[in-house]
């Protein structure tokens, strides 16, 4: 729908029509898709795995592939503890995302 190209957002084909058809559902879906895995990880890692908070937040930053987040975490903690959680989840995210992305798109296309 919205495409980032050349340093600015440009509308894809049917962008305005999709905005009219789905309205607020599109941004809400984006928020849920972004926060859902992070909140689930927060629960699993803190409650079940009992990870320390800096390592836990580093793992969530890696899951989201967020380099600015790990930089901020390292700055706030004053050490490299969050990087321990970041490295493995960042590597897995960078491998699994390109592999599973087309699969999910294909499944959604078949369903709808």
Report the distance separating Cα 77 and Cα 95, nearest Å.
28
Is this prediction's pTM over 0.95? no
At residue 5, the pLDDT reads 53
- pLDDT tens profile 8-35: 565 666 666 777 777 888 788 888 988 9
Q: Is the pLDDT of residue 55 over 70?
A: yes
Report pLDDT digits (tens) over 81-101: 999 999 999 999 999 888 988
Q: What SS3 class is residue 112?
A: coil
Q: How far, in Å, are 4, 21, 22, 29 from residue 89 at the CA level?
A: 26, 36, 33, 23
The residue extents of the domains of the chain are 24-111
């Amino acid at each position: 729908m919205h495409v980032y190209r050349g340093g600015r957002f440009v509308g894809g084909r049917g962008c305005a029509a999709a905005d009219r058809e789905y309205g607020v559902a599109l941004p809400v879906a984006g928020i849920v898709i972004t926060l859902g895995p992070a909140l689930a990880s927060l629960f699993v890692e803190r409650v079940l795995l009992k990870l320390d908070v800096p390592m836990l937040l580093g793992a969530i930053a890696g899951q989201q592939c967020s380099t600015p987040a790990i930089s901020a975490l390292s700055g706030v903690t004053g050490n490299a503890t969050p990087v321990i959680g970041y490295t493995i989840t960042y590597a897995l995210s960078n491998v699994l995302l390109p592999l599973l992305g087309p699969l999910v798109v294909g499944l959604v296309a078949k369903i709808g």
